[in-house]
């Protein structure tokens, strides 16, 4: 599980250009202990309350949440961390991506389909 | 007797995220319970509850209304899941519908623990309702398994068993196979008693995260 999460996050990091004029429009968050849909829905709710958030993708298998913004990411790591803590969890890693959430979801889902 | 009706004395899940409200209704063979929970902080939640027990040959009907505070004593994460231990307690208002009606103020105390992964759910609860007109003590354990790993994209089915001992006018033991369906903000479970006065009767519980 941890390997898969790390794989996804590494992939996200690798595909992002190191230097780019484009600002990140999504964040990929690895959340410890997020195993219950009932509990995870509060994380989705809290992100959706944030202005500028377009879509939230939750995957329990890898304990991952991907948050897509309408424009550039408007939340700091500290704000994201606080939101996760308020939901009852802690994050292991926050990765910012310049790719759209649609593309990230596609890569993410396809990535986990491949052995 | 009355005691066998109290199938789910405490919530199916005690953790309430900060700023969120969870409503719950439980219907057993001889009781109905409503709960409204609010997550005050990541460590504290408050709960208002009401339990209505039907009368039976050994006891009269009884209403318990409570206001409890729940404290997350322990919450830790493993590679596969999450472990929680909770302490809960608060005042209880008991009313027995006799002529004249009997009323008393008491206390409800709960200690519970659960461990959950995407396929395994374990929970144990000890709960005591104490007042001058009624005392009930409940010990309960649940073991559930999700044949298809929990997913956020679709409802998850859990199957398992619940063992319970309840002491009120007498000791009542119950074993009940049960199912649970969790779909994001909705939680539903149902079981059937295999033993005791309520043998063959079902219980249900539904929760909704607002």
Residue B59 pLDDT > 90, yes or no? no
Name B176's Cβ contacts closer than 8 Å, sequence gap at least 6. B7, B161, B162, B164, B191, B192, B193, B194, B203
Distance of residue B116 Cα from the nearest chain A Cα, in angstroms: 7
Where are chain A's structural domains? Answer: 2-113
Q: Are A61 and A113 in contact (CB under 8 A)?
A: no
User: What does each of the 115 residues of chain A score in pLDDT, given as a tens digit?
Assistant: 555 555 555 555 555 544 445 778 889 998 988 888 888 888 999 999 988 899 999 988 888 899 988 888 888 889 999 999 888 888 888 888 887 888 888 777 766 544 4
Interchain pair B207, A38: CB under 8 A: yes
Q: Which two tokens stand for residue B51?
A: 């339990």
Give the one of B42, B80, B182 whose C-beta lies nearest to A38's C-beta: B182
pTM, to two decimals = 0.81
Residue B73 pLDDT > 80, yes or no? yes
Interchain pair B17, A40: CB under 8 A: no
Interchain pair A61, B183: CB under 8 A: no
ipTM associated with this complex = 0.71
Q: What share of chain B is helix, strand, coil (3-state, %, to 5)?
A: 0, 65, 35
Chain B residue closest in CA terms to A43: B17
User: What percent of chain B has a predicted confidence (pLDDT) above 90?
Assistant: 51
Residue A20 DSSP class? -
Distance CA B13, CA A89 (A): 15
Which residue range forms the structural domain that includes residue B44?
Answer: 2-209
- For an interface test with B, the pick among A37, A43, A48, A57 (most B C-beta atoms closer than 10 Å) comes out as A37
Mean pLDDT (whole number) for B76-101 = 87
Q: What is the CATH number of domain A2-113?
A: 3.30.70.100
- Specify the CATH number for the domain of residue B160: 2.40.160.40
Residues forming a β-bridge with B113: B85, B124
pLDDT at B9: 43
Residue B162 pLDDT > 80, yes or no? yes
Sheet containing A90-97, strands listed edge to edge, beginning at the edge strand earlier in sequence:
A53-59, A64-69, A26-32, A90-97
Q: Are B109 and B88 in contact (CB under 8 A)?
A: yes
pLDDT in tens, B8-36: 444 555 788 888 899 999 998 888 999 99
**Overall number of domains in chain B:** 1
- For an interface test with B, the pick among A88, A90, A112 (most B C-beta atoms closer than 10 Å) comes out as A88
């Amino acid at each position: 599980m941890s390997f898969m999460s790390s794989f996804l996050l590494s992939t996200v990091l690798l595909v992002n250009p190191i230097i780019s004029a484009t600002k990140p429009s999504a964040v990929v968050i690895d959340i410890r202990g997020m195993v219950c849909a009932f509990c995870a829905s509060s994380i989705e709710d809290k992100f959706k309350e944030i202005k500028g958030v377009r879509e939230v993708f939750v995957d329990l298998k890898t304990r991952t949440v991907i948050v897509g913004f309408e424009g550039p990411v408007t939340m700091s790591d500290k704000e994201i961390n606080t939101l996760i803590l308020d939901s009852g969890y802690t994050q292991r890693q926050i990765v910012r991506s310049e790719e759209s959430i649609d593309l990230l979801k596609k890569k993410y889902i396809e990535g986990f389909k491949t052995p | 007797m009355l005691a066998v009706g109290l199938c789910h004395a405490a919530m199916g899940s005690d953790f309430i995220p900060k700023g969120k409200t969870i409503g719950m209704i439980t219907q057993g063979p001889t009781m109905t319970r409503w709960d409204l929970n609010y997550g005050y902080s990541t460590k504290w939640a408050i709960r208002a509850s009401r339990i209505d027990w039907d009368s039976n040959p050994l006891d009269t009907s009884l209403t318990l209304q409570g206001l409890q505070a729940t404290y997350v004593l322990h919450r830790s994460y493993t590679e596969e899941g999450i472990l929680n231990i909770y302490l809960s307690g608060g005042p209880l208002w008991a009313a027995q519908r006799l002529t004249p009606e009997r009323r008393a103020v008491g206390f409800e105390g709960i200690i519970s623990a659960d461990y959950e992964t995407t396929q395994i759910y374990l929970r144990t609860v000890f709960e005591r309702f104490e007042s001058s007109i009624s005392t009930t003590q409940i010990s309960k354990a649940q073991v559930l398994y999700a044949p298809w790993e929990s997913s956020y994209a679709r409802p998850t089915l859990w199957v398992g068993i619940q063992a319970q001992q309840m002491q009120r006018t007498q000791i009542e033991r119950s074993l009940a196979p049960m199912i649970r369906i969790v779909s994001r903000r909705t939680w539903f479970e149902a079981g059937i008693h295999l033993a005791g006065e309520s043998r063959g009767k079902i219980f249900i519980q539904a929760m909704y995260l607002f």
